[in-house]
Structure 1
Amino acid sequence: MPYVIETWDKIDHLPLRKKLRDEHLKYLNQKLELLLACGAKLDDDGSDLGGGIYIIDVNTRKAAQQFIEQDPFYIGGLFQKVKIDRWRKAYLDGAFCL
């Protein structure tokens, strides 16, 4: 069952995001089998908005929670808020999935 994880960075923590980015990407590359999509949220001008979206395919909310809690961004204290919701995949990459 897919889950959407949305994160919000603590205010004025862009330097921490940049510091942890390489570790974060290494972690994600080790979890590719779970990732349907993920990326940073951006402002309209393309600048970092401070947070991200992950869509992962795991069986339980607990597994989704464990996924995000193992992310170096989480471990490093970057996030102010994390929200996890179940997600129904209806369309993906332009294809109907139901």
Structure 2
Amino acid sequence: MPFLIEAWDNPDSQPVRAGTLKPHLEFLAQNAAKLLAAGAKLEDDGKTMLGSFYIVDVETRAEAEAFLAADPFAQAGVFGRSVITRWRKAYLDGQCYLPKS
């Protein structure tokens, strides 16, 4: 069952985020097979970064924790807080995964 990883940026981490963007994107590309979804969290202005989220298709919390720990953003100290939660698919890409009743 997948895990949702939600991370919040540290205050004033934008320069660090910008400086590690390329290795972060390379990390995501290298781990694309594990990613059901990923993206930046933004302020309503659509530009100001707040953090990141990932839905990773791994079997254990330890694997989800290892994924986050290996992210260049995490290694560089961009994230101040993160939460990892087991996630059950109900809908993804417009497709229903709920049991038929």
TM above 0.5, yes or no, is yes
Q: Distance in 2 between matches of 1:36 and 1:83?
A: 17
Q: Distance in 2 between matches of 1:56 and 1:69?
A: 13
TM-score, scaled to structure 1: 0.97
In the TM superposition, what whole-angstrom CA distance separates every residue of 1:28-78 from its partner, at most 9, and x where no partner exists? 100010000000001111022320110010000000000000000011111
Q: Secondary structure at the match of 1:62?
A: helix
Task: State how many pairs are aligned.
Answer: 98
**Residue matched to 1:12:** 12
Q: Distance in 1 between matches of 2:32 and 2:68?
A: 14
1:67 aligns with 2:55: no
**Residue matched to 1:96:** 96
1:40 aligns with 2:64: no
RMSD in angstroms over aligned alpha carbons?
0.8
Moved over 4 A (4+): none
Unaligned 5+ runs, structure 2: none
Q: Distance in 2 between matches of 1:31 and 1:20?
A: 17
**Residue matched to 1:22:** 22
TM-score, scaled to structure 2: 0.94
Which has the larger Rg?
2
Identical columns (%): 49
Unaligned 5+ runs, structure 1: none
Q: Secondary structure at the match of 1:39?
A: strand
Name the structure with the higher strand share.
Answer: 1
Q: Distance in 2 between matches of 1:26 and 1:48?
A: 22
Assess if the C-alpha contact under 8 Å between 2:43 and 2:50 holds in 1. no
